[in-house]
Amino acid sequence: MKGMGMMPENRKKPMSEINVVPYIDVMLVLLIIFMVTAPMLTQGVKVDLPETSSQPIHADKNVESIIVSVDSNGAYYVEIGDKGSDPMALAEVRAQVAKILSERASRDILVRGDENVDYGTVVRLMAALQGAGATSIGLITDAAPDET
pLDDT tens track, the chain, 148 positions: 555 555 556 677 777 788 888 899 999 999 999 888 887 765 555 666 566 666 665 555 566 778 888 888 888 888 887 677 778 888 888 888 888 888 877 778 888 888 888 888 888 888 888 888 887 788 877 776 665 4
Annotated domain spans of the chain: 51-143
Give all strands of the β-sheet with 66-70 in edge-to-edge order.
76-80, 66-70, 108-113, 136-139
pLDDT score for 28:
95
pLDDT score for 136:
79
pLDDT score for 27:
95
Q: Left, alpha or beta for 133 (phi > 0: left; psi -120 to 50: alpha)?
A: left
pLDDT score for 32:
93
pLDDT score for 24:
92
Q: Domain 51-143: which topology? A: Nucleotidyltransferase; domain 5 (3.30.420)
Distance between CA atoms of residues 106 and 136, nearest Å:
9
Distance between CA atoms of residues 49 and 97, nearest Å:
22
Longest C-alpha distance within the chain, in Å? 103
Contact 94, 132 (CB under 8 A): yes
pLDDT score for 48:
62
